[in-house]
Structure 1
Amino acid sequence: MSTPTATAPTTTTTRPGLVLTVVCLCQLMVVLDITVVNVALPSIRDDLGFRPADLPWVVNAYTLTFGGLLLLGGRVADLFGQRTAAIAGLSVFGLTSLAGGLAGEPGQLIAARGLQGVAGALLLPVSLTVITTSFAEGPDRRRALGVWAAVMGVGGAAGVLLGGALTEWLDWRWVFFVNVPIAVVAVPLAMASIRNLHRGRPRLDIVGAVLVTGATTALVYAVVRTDRHAWDSAHTLGLLGLALVLGVLFLVVEARFAREPLVRLGLLRQRSLAVASVLVFFIALGQFGAFYLASMYLQNVLHYSPLQAGLAFVPFSLGTVVGTMVGMRLVAARGPWLPVLLGLGLTAVGIGWFGAIRPDGAFVTDMLGPSLLASVGLGTCLVANTSMGTTGVDPAEAGLASGMLNAARQIGGSIGLAVLVTVAGSVTRNHDGAPLVALNAGYARGFLVSGCLIAVATVICLVAAPRDARSAVRRT
Structure 2
Amino acid sequence: MTASNERTAAPPEFAAPGGTAAHHHRPGTVLAVIVGCQLMIGLDTSVVTIALPEVRQGLGLSTGSLAWIQNAYMLAFGGLLLLGGRAGDVFGRRRAFIAGVALFTAASLLGGLAETGWWLLAARAGQGVAAAVAAPSAMALIAQHFEGPARVRALSVFSAVTGAGAAAGMVAGGALTEAGSWRWVFFVNVPVGAVLLLAAPRVLAETRRRPGRFDLGGAVTSTLGMTALVHALIRAGSDGWGDGRVLAAFGAAAVLLAGFVAIETRVRQPVMPLWLLTGRDRAASYLGQFLLTAAMFGAFFFLTQYLQQVLHYGPLRAGAAFLPMVGMQFAVVRLAPRLMARMGARPLVVAGAVLLTAGLLWLSRLSPGDGYAAGLLVPFLLMGAGGGLSVMPLNATILAGVEPAQAGAASGVAQTMLWTGGSLGSAVMVTVHGSAASGGDIVHGMDAAFATGAVFAAAALAVAVLVLRVPR
Sort the Cα spacing of 1:93 and 1:399 in 2 relative to 1 into closer, same or farther, 3 A.
Answer: farther
1:392-433 Cα shifts (integer Å, max 9, x gaps): 444544443333222212222122112222323433336xxx
Q: Distance in 2 between matches of 1:92 and 1:186?
A: 12
Partner of 1:3: none
Of 93, 100, 115, the match for 1:89: 100
When normalised by structure 1's length, the TM-score is 0.79
**Equivalent residues of 1:132, 1:398 under 8 A apart:** no
Paired residue type of 2:351: L
Across the aligned residues of Structure 1 and Structure 2, the Cα RMSD in angstroms comes to 3.8
2:109–2:190: 8 Å Cα contact kept in structure 1?
yes
Q: Any idea what SS the aligned residue of 2:364 has?
A: helix
Q: Which residue in the other structure is 1:207 paired with?
A: 217
- Size of the aligned set, in residue pairs, is 450
Tell me which moved more, 355-364 or 80-89: 80-89
Deviation of the 1:209 alpha carbon: 3.5
Task: Judge conservation of contact 1:76–1:399 (CA < 8 Å) in 2.
Answer: no
Cα offset, 1:116, TM superposition: 1.4
Match of 1:414 in 2: 423
The question of whether the paired residues in 2 share the 8 Å contact of 1:64 and 1:220 is answered with: no
Q: Deviations over 1:420-473 (max 9, x none)?
A: 22323433336xxxx6xx43333233223312311211220222332745xxxx
- The residue that corresponds to 2:4 in the other structure is none
Matched, 1:73 2:84: yes
**296 and 32 in structure 1: CA distance in 2 versus 1, 3 angstrom threshold:** same
Against the structure 1 CA distance between its residues 363 and 46, is the aligned structure 2 distance closer, same or farther, given a 3 Å change threshold? closer
Residue number in structure 2 paired with 1:249 = 259
The share of aligned pairs that are identical, in percent, is: 39
Gap change, CA 1:212 and 1:396, over 3 Å in 2: farther
1:314-336 Cα shifts (integer Å, max 9, x gaps): 11111111121112333455543
Distance in 1 of aligned mates of 2:339 and 2:34: 23
Q: Which residue of 2 aligns with 1:159?
A: 169
Q: How far off is 1:268 after superposition? A: 2.7
Q: How many angstroms does 1:281 deviate by?
A: 0.6
After superposition, residues 7-406 of structure 1 pair within 5 angstroms as 24-41=35-52, 43-44=54-55, 56=66, 58-59=69-70, 61-103=72-114, 108-126=119-137, 151=161, 154-187=164-197, 198=208, 200-226=210-236, 228-256=238-266, 258-406=267-415
CA distance in 2, matches of 1:239, 1:138: 51
Match of 2:6 in 1: none
Greater shift in the superposed pair: 394-403 or 411-420 = 394-403
Q: State the alpha-carbon separation in 1 of the partners of residues 149 and 243 from structure 2.
A: 50
In the TM superposition, what whole-angstrom CA distance separates every residue of 1:342-393 from its partner, at most 9, and x where no partner exists? 2222222222222343321121122112211210221221222223323444
> How far is the alpha carbon of 1:149 from its aligned partner?
6.0
Range with greater deviation from structure 2 (339-348 or 455-464): 339-348
SS in 2 for 1:358: coil
- Structure 1 gaps of 5+ residues are 1-6, 9-13, 470-476
AA aligned opposite 1:29: M
User: Are 1:464 and 2:463 matched, yes or no?
Assistant: no
Consecutive unaligned residues of structure 2, counting only runs of 5 or more, are 1-11, 14-24
Cα deviation, residue 266, structure 1: 2.5
